[in-house]
Amino acid sequence: MTGADTPQDPGPAAERRGGLLADRNRVEAFSDGIFAIAITLLVLDLHPPTTAGRFGAALLAQWPAYLTYLASFAFIGVLWVNHHHLFSRVRAVDTGLLWANLALLLTSSVLPFPTAVLGAAFQDGDPADQRSAALLYTGLAGLTAVAWLIIFSYLAGHPHLLQPQTGAAFFARERRRAALGIGGYAAAAATALILPVAALALCLALPLFYAFTSGGRAPR
């Protein structure tokens, strides 16, 4: 195990700056559990056909549920990967970071609900229903980007919580990515007012942006 992997004691001065410090491993384990539950709940919106002789047609009719499932699976999956990368740079956690992390988990854990609403709207709803569902989904996704921005801003102001190799450039880049996500989901919400299916396409594309622009693990 290298020195970068071993949490170092930030000391009493750090405790005075950021409150009581805790091991990051408990936060990571709890967060991993939330992400795992949320990503598993998504599959509950995929239903087997029940009408004899129409299984093929019934499976094809569920195409909106497949798309929303893929969008949300990618969304939570990328959240988990980026969360893992971020916490590889964190050596200790204080109360402020705990609350910021809980805000991110809140937006992540509730994602199965707007996913189900969006799939139902495209399967059985009218255009007004689709607009409402797409606005709900993009609004929640935008709040997730806001939660990321809060976490990165908090950590940038509390360097004693970080591994020594983590510099200011990392947080400048990550805050830009979060801001781009907020703008991207705002654009998707505006698109939903005109063409909800295009908003769904944007919701599929934005997790790919976060996947390909991830900064990766902390340097060792």
**Cα torsion angle, 184, 187, 193, 198, sign:** negative
Which pair of structure tokens corresponds to residue 192?
């939903």
**Mean pLDDT confidence for 88-114:** 93
In a domain, 68, yes or no: yes
**Mean pLDDT confidence for 55-80:** 86
In a domain, 220, yes or no: no
In a domain, 205, yes or no: yes
**Residue 18 confidence class, pLDDT cut points 50, 70, 90:** very low
Residue labelled with tokens 């590889």:
88
> Which residues face 162 on adjacent strands?
90
In a domain, 14, yes or no: no
pLDDT at position 110 over 80 = yes
In a domain, 109, yes or no: yes
In a domain, 219, yes or no: no
CA dihedral 81, 39, 33, 135 (to 10 degrees): 80
In a domain, 218, yes or no: no
| Length reported for the chain | 220
Alpha carbon distance 79, 84 (integer Å): 9
Q: What is the pTM of this model?
A: 0.80
**Mean pLDDT confidence for 172-184:** 88
Q: How many folded domains does the chain comprise?
A: 1
Are 201 and 74 in contact by the 8 Å Cβ rule? The answer is no
**Domain interval for residue 135:** 19-212
Closest to 141 in 3D by CA, of 174, 172, 178, 166: 178
In a domain, 38, yes or no: yes
**Residue 19 confidence class, pLDDT cut points 50, 70, 90:** low
